[in-house]
Amino acid sequence: MANKILIDGVNWFMEPGNPNAGLAFKIQEPLFKKQTPYQLLEIFDTYEFGRLMALDQLIMVTERDEFAYHEMLVHVPLLMHPQPKKALVIGGGDGGTLREIIKHPTIERAVQVEIDFEVVKASQQFFPQLASAYDHPKVELIIADAVIWLQQTTEKFDIVLVDGSDPVGPAAGLFKTSFYRDIKSILNEGGMMVGQVGSPLYNLERCREFMGMLGSIFPFTGFYTVFIPAYPSGCWGFGLGANCELSFECSDEVRYSTFKRTLKYYNTDIHKGAFLLPETIKQAVRGNYATNGIPGRANRERTS
Segment 257-286, tens digit of pLDDT: 999 999 999 999 999 999 999 999 999 987
Report residue 10's pLDDT band, with 50, 70 and 90 as the boundaries. Answer: confident
- Catalytic pick from 65, 116, 163, 166? 163
Nearest-10 Cα torsion for 198, 187, 159, 169 = -30
Q: Would you state the pLDDT for residue 250?
A: 75
Q: Would you state the pLDDT for residue 22?
A: 82
User: What are the two backbone dihedrals, phi and then psi, of residue 13, each rounded to the nearest 5 degrees?
Assistant: -105, 130
Q: Would you state the pLDDT for residue 41?
A: 96
Report residue 4's pLDDT band, with 50, 70 and 90 as the boundaries. Answer: low
Cβ neighbors of 99 (< 8 A, separation 6 or more) are 70, 130, 131, 132, 133
Q: Would you state the pLDDT for residue 300?
A: 35
- For the chain, what is the total number of helices (H) and then of strands (E)? 9, 14
Q: What is the mean pLDDT of residues 222-241?
A: 94
Cβ neighbors of 61 (< 8 A, separation 6 or more) are 52, 53, 69, 94, 96, 127, 130, 230
Q: What is the DSSP letter of 136?
A: -
pLDDT tens-place string over residues 109-167:
999 999 999 999 999 999 999 999 999 999 999 999 999 999 999 999 999 999 986 66
pLDDT tens-place string over residues 70-95:
999 999 999 999 999 999 999 999 99
> 21 or 119, which is more confident?
119
Q: Whole-angstrom Cα distance, residue 72 to residue 243?
A: 20
Element (H, E) at 151: helix 146-152
Q: Is 56 a catalytic residue?
A: no
Of 233, 211, 209, residue with least CA distance to 221: 211
Q: Would you state the pLDDT for residue 23?
A: 86
Q: Would you state the pLDDT for residue 15?
A: 86
Query: Do the Cβ atoms of 75 and 100 come closer than 8 Å?
Result: yes
User: Which range is least confidently modeled, 70-79, 243-252, 295-304?
Assistant: 295-304
Q: Whole-angstrom Cα distance, residue 282 to residue 287?
A: 9
Q: Would you state the pLDDT for residue 302?
A: 31
Position 301 pLDDT exceeds 50: no
Q: Which domains does the chain have, with CATH numbers?
A: 4-62 (2.30.140.10), 66-297 (3.40.50.150)
Report residue 30's pLDDT band, with 50, 70 and 90 as the boundaries. Answer: confident
Report residue 251's pLDDT band, with 50, 70 and 90 as the boundaries. Answer: confident
C-alpha distances out from residue 69 to 74, 156, 241, 265, 296, Å = 9, 25, 18, 9, 23
Position 24 pLDDT exceeds 60: yes
User: Which range is least confidently modeled, 28-32, 102-106, 121-125, 171-175?
Assistant: 171-175
Q: Would you state the pLDDT for residue 157?
A: 98
What mean pLDDT value characterizes the chain?
88
